[in-house]
């Protein structure tokens, strides 16, 4: 029998069941933090920067532990949070459909429950992977159902330390600035949150910007119709962009990679076990380093369906062992030098990932020079060096930044900032920028923040207990029946 319930009504009913679920397990989740004010201005317990999947789930995780004085700040306008409907160009997610995360273990809040309410149980059964547009719609529904307090169009441009509080300066699209005070801050700015997207200098220093773009940028693929496109990179995003160009009518797309062959092993599938996801951060430095050297060396390959998305086009070719070493303009053509000879294109798409460099981001540049990096803390054995791993911040047990120098005046400020971005991976494993590790990462992050807030106010909580005078035994005489 076909259901006559509309998807809108089904999702509304599902949202109500989520609220009922949360009401049934609300024990001890009431606000216990001691809200502060300074000079008449409210002080947040936690400011979360970024309203993508990591930011809204972190807020939810804190709320479940009774930390409710939280706001989420997002530089994009509503609907533009995260990569899914902006620069992500895959058709579906790369993770299996059964992976959970933002639900934090609430069955009615899972992607499966949302999908079945919208499309039906049979559609879920037949589904291979969730589309990126459906994933964004799911995240929007989670945010609305949980009533996550998000302030859009607010870019964090300055972080200061003001008598034990973080002084955060936000700027909106009109250039107006607002200052907020917070006891703690979570950076949930995703895969790019640790630095900047990387374009090799031999490209950026020699070519006009009109003839190349990084995979994370807005690209007018319609304008590439009939053009010869060169793509640099071996990862999934390089193939996603190559496929998009082909589907938009590019004359030819050539994808070049430095490696001798396209990566085929996806370490993310291995990492999706509770042991690694929950406890990787407890391992010794050397073991963590060796794990990450292997994971980073494998990279994340294009999924099989993404590869075939490109290969089905006769005007697509990939070139292993073909790194680009130089570029120049020859009239309107872009000339790329490779060990195999020159290649000529009309436009280049660069899929070379990102560089970890906190000084390149407005929300971290104020304190970047004080942050301890892996290279400051750990020296790998000979032959196991990695410049990339060494550039990542070396984090404390609760995702907090650590100072290079314990005597640094900014050390107390760093202890109040939690790095829940992709840059946390060598220290904490999969966490905020990964669907696969989100649930485990958020649980560790939220408990760490709650622990820090409670311990900091320990004497005040003791005073509250000593002043507690609510009587439970109110009568010495039995009731008259």
For residue 402, tell me if it sits in a domain: yes
Per-position pLDDT tens, the chain of length 481: 455 789 999 999 999 999 999 999 999 999 998 878 888 889 999 999 999 999 999 999 999 999 999 999 999 999 888 888 888 888 888 888 998 899 999 999 999 999 999 999 999 999 999 999 999 999 999 999 999 999 999 999 999 999 999 999 999 999 999 999 999 999 999 888 889 889 999 999 999 999 999 999 999 999 999 999 999 998 889 999 999 999 999 999 999 999 888 878 888 889 989 999 999 999 999 999 999 999 988 877 888 889 999 999 999 999 999 999 999 999 999 999 999 999 999 999 999 988 899 999 999 999 999 999 999 999 999 999 999 999 999 999 999 999 999 999 999 999 999 999 999 999 999 887 788 889 999 999 999 999 999 999 999 999 999 999 999 988 888 888 7
**Same domain? 188 vs 203:** no
For residue 470, tell me if it sits in a domain: no
CA dist list (Å): 31 to 68, 182, 190, 331, 475:
6, 16, 28, 66, 30
Total domain count, the chain: 2
**Same domain? 79 vs 214:** no
For residue 293, tell me if it sits in a domain: no
Tokens, residue 389: 């791993």
**Same domain? 314 vs 379:** no
d(CA 148, CA 50): 12
> What string of H, E and C letters represents the secondary structure of 193-252?
CCEEECCCHHHHCCCCHHHEEECCCCCCHHHHCCCEEEEECCCHHHHHHHHHHHHCCCCE
**Same domain? 150 vs 68:** yes
For residue 468, tell me if it sits in a domain: no
Tokens, residue 233: 């990179």
**Same domain? 258 vs 371:** no
Instruction: Give the bridge partners for 176, in sequence order.
Output: none
**Same domain? 13 vs 62:** yes
For residue 481, tell me if it sits in a domain: no
**Same domain? 204 vs 245:** yes
For residue 476, tell me if it sits in a domain: no
**Angle at Cα 303 formed by Cα 301 and Cα 309, nearest 5°?**
120
For residue 280, tell me if it sits in a domain: no
The separation between the first and the last C-alpha atoms of the chain, rounded to the nearest angstrom, is: 55
Q: Work out the number of other CB atoms within 10 angstroms of the CB of residue 453.
A: 21
Query: Where a domain ends, among 336, 352, 368?
Result: 352
pLDDT at position 1? 44
Answer yes or no: are the C-beta atoms of 49 and 157 closer than 8 Å. no
Instruction: Give the bridge partners for 337, in sequence order.
Output: 326, 342
**Same domain? 238 vs 334:** yes
Query: Where a domain ends, among 332, 352, 372?
Result: 352
pLDDT at position 3? 58
CATH number, position 314? 3.50.50.60
For residue 479, tell me if it sits in a domain: no
**Same domain? 185 vs 205:** no
User: What is residue 124's three-state secondary structure?
Assistant: helix
**Same domain? 309 vs 363:** no
**Same domain? 172 vs 131:** yes
- Which residue shows structure tokens 């949980």? 146
**Same domain? 315 vs 451:** no
Q: Please give the residue range of the domain that contains residue 59.
A: 7-194+356-459
Answer yes or no: are the C-beta atoms of 223 and 86 closer than 8 Å. no
Q: State how beta strands 150-151 and 70-73 pair.
A: parallel
């Amino acid at each position: 029998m076909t259901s006559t319930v509309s998807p809108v009504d089904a999702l509304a009913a599902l949202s109500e069941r989520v609220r009922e679920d949360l009401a049934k397990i609300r024990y001890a989740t009431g606000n216990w933090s001691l809200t502060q004010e300074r000079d008449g201005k409210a002080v947040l317990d936690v400011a979360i920067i970024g309203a993508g999947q990591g930011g809204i789930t972190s807020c939810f995780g804190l709320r479940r532990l009774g930390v409710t004085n939280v706001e989420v700040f997002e530089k994009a306008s509503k609907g533009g949070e995260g990569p899914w409907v902006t620069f992500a160009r895959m058709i579906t997610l790369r993770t299996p459909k059964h992976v959970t995360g933002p639900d934090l273990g609430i069955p009615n809040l899972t992607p499966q429950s949302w999908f079945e309410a919208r499309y039906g149980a049979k559609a879920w059964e037949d589904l291979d992977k969730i589309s990126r547009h459906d994933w964004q719609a799911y995240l929007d529904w989670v945010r609305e159902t949980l009533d996550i307090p998000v302030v859009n169009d607010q870019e964090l441009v300055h972080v200061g330390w003001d008598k034990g509080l973080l002084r955060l300066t936000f700027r909106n699209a009109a250039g107006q600035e607002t200052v907020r005070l917070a006891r703690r801050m979570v950076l949930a700015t995703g895969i790019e949150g640790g630095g900047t997207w990387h374009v090799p200098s031999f490209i950026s220093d020699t070519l006009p910007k009109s003839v190349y773009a990084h995979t994370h940028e807005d690209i007018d693929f319609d304008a590439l119709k009939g053009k010869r496109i060169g793509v640099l990179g071996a990862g999934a995003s390089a193939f996603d962009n190559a496929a998009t160009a082909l589907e938009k009518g590019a004359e030819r797309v050539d994808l070049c990679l430095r490696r001798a062959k396209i990566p085929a092993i996806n370490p993310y599938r291995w990492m999706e076990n509770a042991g690694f996801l929950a406890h990787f951060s407890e391992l010794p430095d050397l073991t963590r380093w060796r794990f990450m050297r292997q994971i980073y060396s494998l990279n994340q390959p294009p999924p099989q369906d993404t590869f075939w998305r490109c290969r089905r086009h006769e005007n697509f070719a990939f070139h292993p062992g073909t790194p680009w070493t130089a570029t120049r303009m020859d009239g309107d053509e872009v000339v790329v030098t490779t060990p195999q000879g020159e290649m000529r294109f009309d436009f280049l798409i660069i899929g070379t990932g990102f560089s970890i460099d906190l000084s390149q981001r407005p929300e971290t540049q104020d304190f970047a020079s004080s942050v301890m990096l892996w290279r400051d803390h750990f020296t790998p054995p000979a032959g196991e060096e990695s410049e990339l791993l060494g550039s990542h911040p070396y984090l404390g047990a609760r995702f907090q930044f650590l100072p290079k120098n314990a005597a640094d005046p900014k050390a107390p400020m760093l202890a109040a900032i939690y790095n829940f971005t992709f840059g946390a991976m060598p220290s904490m494993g999969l966490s905020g920028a990964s669907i696969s590790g989100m649930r485990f990462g958020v649980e560790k992050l939220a408990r760490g923040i709650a622990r820090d807030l409670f311990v900091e106010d320990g004497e005040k909580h003791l005073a509250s207990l000593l002043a507690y005078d609510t009587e439970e035994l109110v009568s010495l005489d039995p009731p008259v029946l």
